[in-house]
Chain A
Amino acid sequence: MSKKQPVSRRQFLNYTLTGVGGFMAAGMLMPMVRFAVDPVLKGEAAGEYHPTQQKVSELTDTPVRVDFSYEQTDAWYTSEVTHTAWVYKNDKGEIVALSPVCKHLGCTVSWEGNDHKDKFFCPCHNGMYEKNGKNIPGTPPLKPLDVYPTAEKGGLLQLGKPEANNV
């Protein structure tokens, strides 16, 4: 037998009591912590398309403002929210729907706002974007405007959840 490492009575009691106590404390705290972090673990709902009143056939190469509303469920509270998109058809005839949320600090941009020709303009810090949403270097935004996935149903435009734009 190799040299024994005797565990004293005091040490043994310390270890077992710490273990049992830790186990009991964990059993008490685990549900509460899991309860608190639940929103982080719930994950995001799959993006669904929301109908708008915009006729696809009426879209041109000039961005128009499209407001659309839908029911939003926030835990126990359900309400109608309104969002906005700037929509046009590009050279290839594809529909482009841009989010108006400025990528600088989240103000709302508008097409040719403040007489800036062919630009999206943000009034908060003079941020500017090209028509395709690309941020103009030298203005505050560092990323292009988010883009809505689009769909068409019965001739009307439908919009999903805005995604990062890769222009």
Chain B
Amino acid sequence: MLNKIYDWVDERLDITPMWRDIADHEVPEHVNPAHHFSAFVYCFGGLTFFVTVIQILSGMFLTMYYVPDIKNAWESVYYLQNEVAFGVIVRGMHHWGASLVIVMMFLHTLRVFFQGAYKKPRELNWVVGVLIFFVMLGLGFTGYLLPWDMKALFATKVGIEIAASTPLIGHELKVLLAGHPDIIGAQTLTRFFAIHVFFLPAALLALMAGHFIMIRKQGISGPL
């Protein structure tokens, strides 16, 4: 049945070369853990991507209940965690996954660094990777505020004070982030929500696309 549907579409649109191009490529011996177990260090990039997919999925589902409003944010998080079936698991995936993605990304960065895999001709991919790192940290920072509990509020106060210590444009940067010169409140929460679910994920997807296209074009770096 599935084969027939596939053949029907393939006959008209010739889709086989498209996925072949993405899926069919050789894994060199030196990155295959079946040949050298130490090659597991090459898995961290893929694991980062895998956890990112989980983050995007669980985040999509969380927004079915979450409201970015100072009166209802905490209440809605409490509700989805304690009253909705599997709420504690779905929120747990997003909560722990957020830390895990940083850990995986860090290990991936270490591997690339210590193997010197960032050297010519892959400098540009390193730069894009560092940008992804910053976007991920931004996602972590903005997501931290959304439950609107005391920890979230004070962490954001500190974070915004750090931004305010930027030379010359510190004050403007603070107002831009918080939405108000003095208050971390209603406008901060909606801003952080918008940044967390629209702006940064869009940037992340674009950067990841660049990251992957470059690695496919250049191939993985050779053995040490």
B is bound to A: yes
A residues at B contact (CB < 8 Å): 28-29, 31-32, 34-36, 38, 41, 75-77
Neighbour of B83 across the interface among A31, A34, A75, CB < 8 A: A75
The interface residues of chain B lying within 8 Å CB-to-CB of A36 are: 61, 64
Kindly state the separation between the CA atoms of A35 and B58 in the bound complex, as whole angstroms: 10
Most B C-beta atoms less than 10 A away, residue of A28, A31, A34: A31
The answer to whether A32 and B75 touch (CB under 8 A), given A38-B85, A75-B83, is: no
Minimum CB distance partner of A30 in chain B? B86
The interface residues of chain A lying within 8 Å CB-to-CB of B79 are: 75-76
Neighbour of A76 across the interface among B54, B61, B76, B85, CB < 8 A: B76
The answer to whether A35 and B57 touch (CB under 8 A), given A76-B72, A76-B75, A76-B78, is: no
Neighbour of B85 across the interface among A28, A29, A34, CB < 8 A: A34
Chain B residues 66-105 with CB under 8 Å of chain A are 72, 75-76, 78-80, 83-87, 89-90, 93
Minimum CB distance partner of B53 in chain A? A28
The answer to whether A35 and B72 touch (CB under 8 A), given A28-B54, A41-B85, A76-B78, is: no
Neighbour of A34 across the interface among B58, B72, B78, B86, CB < 8 A: B86
What's the nearest-Cβ distance from chain A to residue B146, in Å? 15
Consensus secondary structure, chain A interface: helix
Contact yes or no, A38 B84, CB < 8 A? yes
The interface residues of chain B lying within 8 Å CB-to-CB of A34 are: 85-86
Contact yes or no, B72 A77, CB < 8 A? yes
What count of chain B residues pass the 8 Å CB interface test? 20
Neighbour of B57 across the interface among A32, A38, A77, CB < 8 A: A32
The interface residues of chain A lying within 8 Å CB-to-CB of B75 are: 76-77
Kindly state the separation between the CA atoms of A62 and B80 in the bound complex, as whole angstroms: 47
What's the nearest-Cβ distance from chain A to residue B71, in Å? 9
Contact yes or no, A31 B86, CB < 8 A? yes
Kindly state the separation between the CA atoms of A53 and B54 in the bound complex, as whole angstroms: 54
26 A-B pairs with CB atoms under 8 Å apart are: A28-B54, A28-B57, A28-B93, A29-B57, A31-B93, A32-B57, A32-B58, A32-B61, A32-B86, A32-B93, A34-B86, A35-B61, A35-B80, A35-B85, A35-B89, A35-B90, A36-B61, A36-B64, A38-B84, A38-B85, A38-B87, A75-B65, A75-B79, A76-B72, A76-B76, A77-B72
Contact yes or no, A75 B76, CB < 8 A? yes
The interface residues of chain A lying within 8 Å CB-to-CB of B87 are: 35, 38
What's the nearest-Cβ distance from chain B to residue A72, in Å? 15
What's the nearest-Cβ distance from chain A to residue B185, in Å? 19
Minimum CB distance partner of B54 in chain A? A28
Contact yes or no, B54 A35, CB < 8 A? no
Given contacts A28-B93, A76-B76, 12 further A-B contacts (CB under 8 A): A28-B54, A31-B90, A32-B58, A34-B86, A35-B80, A35-B85, A35-B90, A36-B61, A36-B64, A38-B84, A38-B87, A77-B72
